[in-house]
Amino acid sequence: MWVEKYRPQKLEEVANQKAIKSRLSSLLARKEELPHLLFAGPPGSGKTTTALIVAKQVLGEHWADYTLMLNASDERGIDTVREKVKVFARFVDRREGVPFRLVVLDESDEMTRDSQNALRRIMEEYSKYTRFVLVCNYSSGIIEAIQSRCAIFRFQRLDEESVVEHLKAIAKKESLAYADDSVFASVFEATQGDLRQAINLLQAASSSGELTQDSVKTVSGSSVRSRVGEIITLAMGGNFEGARTKMVELTRVYGIPERDFLRFANEVVTSMEVDDLAKAVEILAEYDFRLVQGSQPELQLTAMLAQLSKLKKKGD
C-alpha cells in the first residue's frame, strides 16, 4: 500500500503542520522530559504518522520493543486499559538510552468514559516509566482530567497545495503518466484534505499506470463521503432498512470511525434541501453527543438514521 510505502519517517517530512513540527522539535530535543502528548485533528492530517515518528526518535532502534500501539476504537473498553495498557505501563525494565516506554492510543476519543478514567489513573501512577500519546479526531471526546495532563497539538486539515505537492511526489516515484496537474486537484476535491484517503484514491485510480480525470471520477464515486451521502439520501427518502444495511457495511467492513460518519453526514445534510434543516442538524448533534458519552456506536447510528427517515426532503 502506498500509504505505508510513502509514510514519512522524519518530522520534517510530514506534510504542512509547520507550527506543530516546530513545537515538537523543541520537546524532542529534551526527550527525557517529554510530557504526555495529545494529537487532535481531522483524519489524514498526519497525527498517527507523527506519533510513530516521536516513538522512533525518542526510543531509537528499540522503539518497537518499548511501544504499545492500540486502536482505541476497536479496543475501547475498560478491560483493555486494565489488561493491556496497565500491564505494559507498569514494567520498569529498559535498556540504556531508552528513557521510558511509550503507549500510543489511536482513535482515543472513541474510548468510553470509564476506560478514560482508568487510563487517567494509570497515567498518574506510571508517568515515571511510561509516556502516553493520545491520537484523536475530536479533543472534546477526551475527558478534561486527561487533557490537562497532556501537551495538546491541534492538527489542521491539509490545504490543496500541500496535498497536491505530496501526490505529485508519489506519482513521480511511481512513474505515473498524467496529462496535467488538474488531475491531482480532482483527487483533493474528492478527499477534502484527508491525505491518507487521497493517497489511497491515487493508487486505485492509477492501477493501469496512468492517472486520468475519468479514473479519478470512477474511483471517487465510491469514496467514503459519497457512500455516507448515499446512506443519508436513502434515510431521508424513507428507506430506513436500506440506509441501515449500507451503514453497517461501511462501519464494519470498511472500518470508517463512527465520528467520521457523523462528520460526513453533517456535510451532506447541510447541503441538501430539507423541510426542517434545523431539526436534522439537531438530530446529528444529539447522536454526536451520545457517542462522545460512550454509547454503543452502531446502535446510536441506527437510531439516528431512524430519526432522519422521519424527515422529508423538499419536494417529497
Backbone angles phi, psi at 254, to 5 degrees: -95, -10
Average pLDDT, the chain: 89
Degrees (nearest 5) of the Cα angle 218, 222, 228? Answer: 145
What is the CB neighbour count within 10 angstroms for residue 92? 11
**Given this model, what pLDDT does residue 296 score?**
81
Residue 71 has pLDDT above 70, yes or no: yes
Q: How far apart are CA 137 and CA 110, in angstroms?
A: 9
Residue 172 has pLDDT above 80, yes or no: yes
Q: Where are the domains of the chain?
A: 2-154, 160-220, 224-308
Backbone angles phi, psi at 37, to 5 degrees: -120, 145
| Residue 71: HSE in the Cβ half-sphere, 13 Å Cα cutoff | 5
Average pLDDT over residues 215-244: 87
Residue 282: band (very low, low, confident or very high) from pLDDT cuts 50, 70, 90:
very high
Residue 63 has pLDDT above 80, yes or no: yes
Average pLDDT over residues 46-69: 94
What is the CB neighbour count within 10 angstroms for residue 77? 15
Which residues fall within 8 angstroms of residue 168, CB to CB, at 6 or more apart? 181, 184
**Given this model, what pLDDT does residue 221 score?**
64
Q: How far apart are CA 301 and CA 313, in angstroms?
A: 20
Note the pLDDT tens digit of each residue in 90-139: 887 667 778 899 999 998 988 888 889 999 999 999 998 899 999 998 89
Residue 67's SS3 state is: strand
**Given this model, what pLDDT does residue 43 score?**
87
Q: Higher confidence at residue 243 or residue 219?
A: 243
Residue 75: band (very low, low, confident or very high) from pLDDT cuts 50, 70, 90:
low
| Bridge partners for 153 per DSSP | 39
Average pLDDT over residues 223-247: 90
Degrees (nearest 5) of the Cα angle 105, 103, 4? Answer: 65
Residue 218 has pLDDT above 70, yes or no: yes
- Overall fold of domain 2-154: Rossmann fold (3.40.50)
Please, what sign has the CA dihedral across residues 137, 139, 143, 146? positive
Q: How far apart are CA 236 and CA 173, in angstroms?
A: 44
Residue 3 has pLDDT above 90, yes or no: yes
Q: How far apart are CA 59 and CA 103, in angstroms?
A: 12
Residues of the chain with pLDDT > 90: what percent? 60
Q: Which CATH number fits domain 160-220: 1.10.10.10, 3.30.460.80, 3.40.50.20, 1.10.8.60?
A: 1.10.8.60
Residue with cell 513545537: 23
Residue 241: band (very low, low, confident or very high) from pLDDT cuts 50, 70, 90:
very high
Average pLDDT over residues 286-314: 84
Average pLDDT over residues 251-273: 82
Identify the CATH class of 224-308. mainly alpha
Backbone angles phi, psi at 67, to 5 degrees: -125, 130
Name the nearest CA neighbour of 122 among 155, 158, 85, 71: 85
**Given this model, what pLDDT does residue 230 score?**
92
Residue 273 has pLDDT above 70, yes or no: yes
Name the nearest CA neighbour of 200 among 179, 219, 173, 176: 219
Q: Are 134 and 37 in contact (CB under 8 A)?
A: yes
Residue 316 has pLDDT above 60, yes or no: no
Residue 255 has pLDDT above 70, yes or no: no
Which residues fall within 8 angstroms of residue 171, CB to CB, at 6 or more apart? 178, 184, 202, 206, 211
